[in-house]
């Protein structure tokens, strides 16, 4: 079965420290992977995607993600967290040969001043 897992419900980090939000996946074929962020009372905002190429993908707002095929992971990272990064983060994978996305359960990131 094709799926996405975000093993942490919440991640807490101090402002200025690096952050990592974890995601693992299970799909048929080559994965198309995405990260989205959701602020309160807003829709999901696209951060970055991996389709092919470099394993380190750079996205919006200083975020980046590392694709690891052997570990089937696509962790979201940022070198220095901001309080304004506090939000709900979703990892998603595109089902093979479709445009359907399967989303993880989300990870709430809390950045403390």
Partner 1 sequence: DSGVTQTPKHLITATGQRVTLRCSPRSGDLSVYWYQQSLDQGLQFLIQYYNGEERAKGNILERFSAQQFPDLHSELNLSSLELGDSALYFCASSGGGGQPQHFGDGTRLSIL
Q: Which residues bind partner 1 (CB under 8 A)?
A: 32, 34, 36, 41-46, 49, 51, 90, 94, 98-103, 105-106
Q: Where are the alpha helices (DSSP H) in 1-113?
A: none
By beta-carbon proximity to partner 1, the closer residue of 91 and 111 is 91
Question: From CA 22, how far away is CA 71, in angstroms rounded?
Answer: 12
By beta-carbon proximity to partner 1, the closer residue of 47 and 81 is 47
Tell the smallest beta-carbon distance from residue 113 to partner 1 (Å): 27
By beta-carbon proximity to partner 1, the closer residue of 63 and 90 is 90
Tell the smallest beta-carbon distance from residue 67 to partner 1 (Å): 14
By beta-carbon proximity to partner 1, the closer residue of 4 and 81 is 4
Question: From CA 83, how far away is CA 101, in angstroms rounded?
Answer: 29
Burial per residue of 85-95, b for 16 or more beta-carbon CB atoms within 10 angstroms, e otherwise:
bbbbbbbbbbe
Rg (CA), the chain: 13
Question: From CA 85, how far away is CA 62, in angstroms rounded?
Answer: 10
Tell the smallest beta-carbon distance from residue 56 to partner 1 (Å): 18
């Amino acid at each position: 079965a094709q799926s996405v897992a975000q093993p942490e419900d919440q991640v807490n980090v101090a402002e200025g420290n690096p952050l990592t939000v974890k995601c693992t996946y299970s799909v048929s074929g080559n994965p198309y992977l995405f990260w989205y962020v959701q602020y309160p009372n807003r829709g999901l905002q696209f951060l970055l995607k991996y389709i092919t190429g470099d394993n380190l993908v750079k996205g919006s707002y200083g975020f980046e993600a590392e694709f690891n095929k052997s570990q089937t992971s696509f962790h979201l990272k940022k070198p220095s967290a901001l309080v304004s990064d506090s939000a709900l983060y979703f990892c998603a994978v595109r089902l093979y040969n479709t445009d359907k996305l399967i989303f993880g359960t989300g990870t709430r990131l809390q950045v403390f001043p």
